[in-house]
Amino acid sequence: MIIALFPNEKKSLSFDLGIEIRKFLEKKGVIVVAENEKAQRIGAKPLDSVKAEDINFLIAMGGDGTLLRITHNFQYIDAPILGINLGHLGFMADIPLGDINQSLTELLMGKFNIEQRIAIEAHSEKGHLYAVNDIVFHRGQNYSLIELSLHIDGVYLNTFVADGVIISTPNGSTAYSLSAGGPILSPSLNAIVITPICPHTISNRPIVLTANHTIQIQYLSHYDPIDVRADGLKALILRSQEKVTIQQSKKTFKLVTLHRHEYFSTLRSKLGWSGKLR
């Protein structure tokens, strides 16, 4: 078995933890690799020393942001990813520090599920974006609200006058979309959420669609270019009258979930819900 470790250089604990995990896995007969420039720091083999198709799992050490960066930067590796939480919320990276050895033991014993979560893609004349969480159209440096028209499968839906619009997967429904007032979707749903950001008209509410729809967004305002960004990382610049088409991606996001870590319990814990059984 080959496992790739991805420490987050911005987390001081990450490399020390990487060394401990590498030693633990090697004792179990696992070949451990890491990014070429980080491998030596944790005593692992360079990532390029093995074939991408031979890697069984990726392990992210950080938070959900770390996990997203790995997914974007290493799209050529099709292995599922497991997240160890060194951040704050951590809906995807949900393994706490105190549970690492037990969680890794269960991983090696096969006590896990691999969830195939949907992803989305944006296409325009300027390029292509892939997103696990969301694709955000934001007014950028414009001081005023912007106008964005939306068509669903070629049928006009609405023109939003707002700071922008979020197109989110169920996986991303607990991220920016939630902060903007969008609903929480179970990550197993085959759906997409359209959430306006601070809309001028209060009746403009989030909309949930099945993921087989094609969404076209056109920037109508004669202002400065706006930002179209995938997962807060890669971006396109959209100028007035230009269009972007968003569809479900053929590539899924493969997330390892351990049997002991259940989504709804994580949701209740991370959001600090205080309800109790009576």
Residues with a catalytic annotation lie at 64
Q: What is the DSSP letter of 278?
A: -
Inter-residue contact 266 to 273 (CB < 8 Å): no
Sort 167 into a burial class: Cβ within 10 Å, 0-12 / 13-18 / 19+.
buried
Give the N- to C-terminal CA distance of the chain in Å, as an integer.
47
Query: What is the DSSP secondary-structure string of 31-77?
Result: EEEE-HHHHHHHTPEEGGGS-GGG--EEEEEE-HHHHHHHHHHTTT-
Name the packing angle between helices 100-109 and 12-27 (round to 10°). Answer: 40
b/e string for 107-118 if b means 16 or more Cβ within 10 A?
A: bbeeebeebebb
Structure tokens at 15: 């490399």
Please state, in angstroms and rounded to a whole number, the distance separating the CA atoms of residues 248 and 250. 7
Sort 22 into a burial class: Cβ within 10 Å, 0-12 / 13-18 / 19+.
buried
Please state, in angstroms and rounded to a whole number, the distance separating the CA atoms of residues 214 and 151. 8
